Amino acid sequence: MHSFYCFSRSILLATFLIFAAGQLVVAQEITQADTAAWVIVYTSDGNEFTGQLLSQDAQTVVLKTEHFGVITIQRDVITGIRPAKKPKVVNGRVWFENPYAPRYFVGSSAYGLRKGEGAYENSMLFLNQVSYGFSDQFSLGVGFAPFIIIDDELFPVWLMPKFSIPIEQDKFYIALGGMFGYEFNSYNDDGDNSANFNAAYVQVTYGSRDNNFSAGVGVNFSHGSWSRSPVYSLAGTVRLAPRLGLLAESYFFKDYGDQVSIVALGTRFMGRRIAIDVGLALSVFEFDGAYPIPYATLHVPFGSVKN
């Protein structure tokens, strides 16, 4: 019992240290580009250019970019233009806006997808989810696990609605969400359908989209009643470089009286169009030891912010 609580305290310490490291990153020299309007211009050859909009007319769009200087783009090759936030500059390097803030390894932060943004996630080849932001405050995920089939008795699908409520814009958020799932061909011993699995949660996130800390609590609903033992979660992320971040995610709950802790620590390799999480999850059972599990998640953002 003593070793279990020591391990739990170690999980808490590691998560808080990750967040503290993020504050050190924030303390670096961070500047914003000047106040002229910023846009992203998409072209028919698949490129995109981010810069300050200097001028535009019926034939051309003129941008001032960080890497290419002032460029002129012909209207006939432009497929779209949308407003963009001013890029963050850390120690002289431009950091693109983080499109992966709503997710950790498996769970989510209180940040949500904005209107028009979408994301696909795949964890360990088995778990798939596609999410879309219908507004800046509401997103919906659809998940499925087609390869989890045991004796023709399990093929889960689920819906995950999420309301993201800003208390302080880009700094402090509260999320209310749930999971409504169904397992095909799942029956109990009496022949009654026991295929539904449901849950509800509250998540609080403090910090920016690059560096934040989250705490949450969730409960399961099955067989017509709510569970008496909630699931507690802690998570944090730190962006160390334009394409590198650290992740920590942990869960604490009881399973038939056995206290269980699950913690995942890892790295996120980020690009504008794809990110890969690689880490190690450790499951610790109060009466049954610890079991390490390697973990990987693929994130693919799509869509664009609609203003």
pLDDT above 70 coverage of the chain, percent:
76
pLDDT above 60 for 34: no
Most confident of 42-51, 173-182, 283-292: 173-182
Which pLDDT score, from 0 to 100, does residue 162 have? 96
Strands of 69-74's sheet, edge to edge?
A: 69-74, 60-65, 48-56, 38-43, 78-83
**Single pTM value for the model:** 0.72
Q: What is the DSSP string of 95-108?
A: E---TTTTB-SSSB
pLDDT tens string 48-60: 788 888 888 888 9
Query: CA-CA distance, 251 to 239, in Å (whole number)?
Result: 22
Lowest-confidence segment of 20-24, 143-147, 207-211, 276-280 by average pLDDT: 20-24
The mean pLDDT value of the chain amounts to 80
- What would the mean pLDDT of 206-218 be, rounded to a whole number? 92
Query: Band of the pLDDT at 273, cuts 50, 70, 90?
Result: confident
pLDDT above 50 for 211: yes
Lowest-confidence segment of 49-53, 212-216, 223-227, 247-251 by average pLDDT: 223-227
30: β partners: 90
Query: CA-CA distance, 108 to 112, in Å (whole number)?
Result: 9
Q: Running DSSP on this structure, what letter comes out for residue 59?
A: S
pLDDT above 60 for 167: yes
Question: Helix/strand/coil (H, E, C) string of 244-292?
Answer: EEEEEEEEEEEECCEEEEEEEEEEEEECCCCEEEEEEEEEEECCCEEEE
Q: Higher confidence at residue 184 or residue 99? A: 99
- What would the mean pLDDT of 280-303 be, rounded to a whole number? 85
How far from 80 is each of 3, 238, 301, CA to CA, in Å?
57, 32, 17
pLDDT above 70 for 106: yes
250: β partners: 234, 263
Most confident of 61-65, 167-171, 173-177: 173-177
Query: CA-CA distance, 304 to 97, in Å (whole number)?
Result: 12
Per this entry, what is the length of the chain?
307
Which pLDDT score, from 0 to 100, does residue 48 have? 79
Distance of CA 17 to the CA centre of its chain: 20
pLDDT tens string 173-202: 999 999 988 877 655 445 555 567 788 999
Distance of CA 233 to the CA centre of its chain: 14
Q: Which two tokens stand for residue 28?
A: 């670096």
Lowest-confidence segment of 43-47, 108-112, 115-119, 178-182 by average pLDDT: 43-47
Which pLDDT score, from 0 to 100, does residue 286 have? 74
Domains, the chain, in order of start with CATH, read 2-30+97-303 (2.40.160.40), 34-86 (2.30.30.100)
Which pLDDT score, from 0 to 100, does residue 66 have? 75
Q: What is the DSSP string of 199-228?
A: EEEEEEEEE-SSSEEEEEEEEEEETTEE-S
- Picking from 32, 43, 109, the residue whose alpha carbon sits closest to that of residue 72 is 43
pLDDT above 90 for 125: no
pLDDT above 50 for 5: no
Query: Band of the pLDDT at 242, cuts 50, 70, 90?
Result: confident
At 301, the amino acid letter reads P
Q: Running DSSP on this structure, what letter comes out for residue 113?
A: P
